[in-house]
Amino acid sequence: MQNKFSRRDLLKVTGLGLGAVALRPVNKFLSDDGQSYLNRGEGNWVGLPLPQFPEGENLGRILGKADVFSRPTTDPSAASITNTLYDDNMVVWGREVVGNAIGRTNQRFVETDQGFIYSPFVQPASNKPNNPITALPEGSSGFWAEVTIPYVDLLLDGPPISSWVKSLIAYNFPPRLYYSQVVWIDQIRAETSGQVYYRFNESPGHGYGPGDLFWADGAAFRVLTDEDVSPINPEVDPASKHINIDLDYQTLSCLEAGREVYFCRVSTGAVYLASGEFTDEWKTPVGDLNTHWKIISLNMSAGTVGAGYSTPAVPWATFIHGDGVAIHGAFWHNDFGERRSHGCVNLRPEDAKWVFRWTTPIITLEQSEQRMTWPDHGTVVSVTERET
């Protein structure tokens, strides 16, 4: 099973969610002037209700096109394809098992209520709606919040600015946020009906986003607290903290005075194009780097419409090389252990959050972005690769 067209490739061309055939057409949310994408009713806004998800403690969201196998193998002589699922279909996640994915390093499959699905095409998710707050905290211009349901539909407030939104509209699909994304909420609207809407501002002050504004059901978001960004092991001498990233094994280790305290799989820069040709365009830099810019969440974009990407609300970004290579959470694939990024170090969002809290500089909710200028620097990150 060669992953010739990845979730990241999908994001490059169309933004999030294209391929989810059950999505509502955007034109249902256009106003008469064709500029505002809010759906307003008499007296109250008529927003998008939260989707109905399968019942289960652990859920999986399909990423792209995923075949369902009768056994955990892609070998056609050993298993049959019982179904094919597409973007944003939901399954109940039973367990992850080791199988036989022909031609791939990643051998993990998810056992679901429908059969076995190759794990890179299933995002682990939960469905945990929240009781939204009805007003901004006193003296605050907004707050950070995390999506805690598999996905939530967005209503665009004003004409689209960002390329990922424009591309979705062109394909008649509405924008969505997905489980584990972190966003800045700068307004709250509490309706007399009891419905509470949060406004997601894609460019909150720091200016690293296109500037689109969206409204969404507040129940989809958990308000971040100080604990979410509190330093891990702050009593340890920061100079004794060290990160090792192994490009050959696609692993990350956090060390304190040489003792490993955290380990996870990663996805670093891809070495093959979608056509199968070798490339070093997206290679993750090798050498002793350092953490020097951290931000809770931002839009990551680069390149052109045809050959670039624009991904909103990428969480827990810890930059280690210039302004373009970061350790960060990835919600658009579950292929950790394989090289597939555009140079960054992709982690599961929960792993990226741990690294974010453990490294320096220290971040707070009030100061959600910090930069350091050489020779000042944060945690040393050694990226290694065997010579070939």
Residue 335 and residue 240 share a domain: yes
Q: Quick check: is 1 in a domain? A: no
pLDDT tens, residue by residue, 363-372: 999 999 999 9
Nearest one of 250, 318, 241 to 284, comparing CA atoms: 250
Tokens for 189, please give them: 């609207």
Residue 350 and residue 266 share a domain: yes
Nearest one of 146, 214, 179 to 334, comparing CA atoms: 179
Per-residue model confidence (pLDDT) at position 157: 87
Tokens for 362, please give them: 């220290």
Q: Is the peptide bond prior to 375 cis by the omega test (within 30 degrees of 0)?
A: yes
Per-residue model confidence (pLDDT) at position 15: 34
Q: Quick check: is 285 in a domain? A: yes
Residue 136 and residue 103 share a domain: no
- Give the chain's length: 388
At residue 115 the predicted structure's pLDDT band, cuts being 50, 70 and 90, is very high
Residue at which a domain ends, from 196, 224, 252: 224
Average of pLDDT values for 45-60? 87
Query: Total structural domains in the chain?
Result: 3
Tokens for 316, please give them: 């827990």
Q: Quick check: is 2 in a domain? A: no
Which residue do the tokens 């990160």 mark? 243
CA neighbours within 13 Å on the CB side: how many for 191?
17
Residue 379 and residue 276 share a domain: yes
Domain assignment of residue 291, given as a range: 231-384
Q: Quick check: is 176 in a domain? A: yes
Residue at which a domain ends, from 224, 254, 286: 224
Average of pLDDT values for 124-152? 96
Per-residue model confidence (pLDDT) at position 317: 97
Residue 113 and residue 100 share a domain: yes
Indicate the DSSP class of residue 171.
Answer: T
Nearest one of 8, 1, 13 to 270, comparing CA atoms: 8
Full-model pTM: 0.88
Per-residue model confidence (pLDDT) at position 208: 66
Nearest one of 377, 384, 164, 148 to 288, comparing CA atoms: 384
Q: Quick check: is 258 in a domain? A: yes
Residue at which a domain ends, from 125, 160, 182: 125
SS3 120: helix
- Alpha carbon 53 to chain centroid distance? 19
Residue 109 and residue 40 share a domain: no
* Type and span of the H or E element at 382: strand 380-384
Residue 214 and residue 135 share a domain: yes
Residue 117 and residue 136 share a domain: no
Determine the Cα–Cα distance for residues 86 and 64; give it in Å rounded to an integer: 5
DSSP secondary structure letters along 351-372: HHHHHHHHSSS---SSS-EEE-
Average of pLDDT values for 276-295? 88
Per-residue model confidence (pLDDT) at position 44: 57
The CA–CA distances, whole Å, from 185 to 142, 163, 213, 333, 368 equal 5, 21, 10, 25, 13
Residue 172 and residue 244 share a domain: no
What residues does 81 pair with on adjacent strands?
A: 69
Contact 346, 267 (CB under 8 A): yes
Contact 352, 315 (CB under 8 A): yes
pLDDT surpassing 90 at residue 34: no
Residues 6 or more apart whose CB falls under 8 angstroms from that of 52 comprise none
pLDDT surpassing 60 at residue 12: no
Average of pLDDT values for 259-270? 96
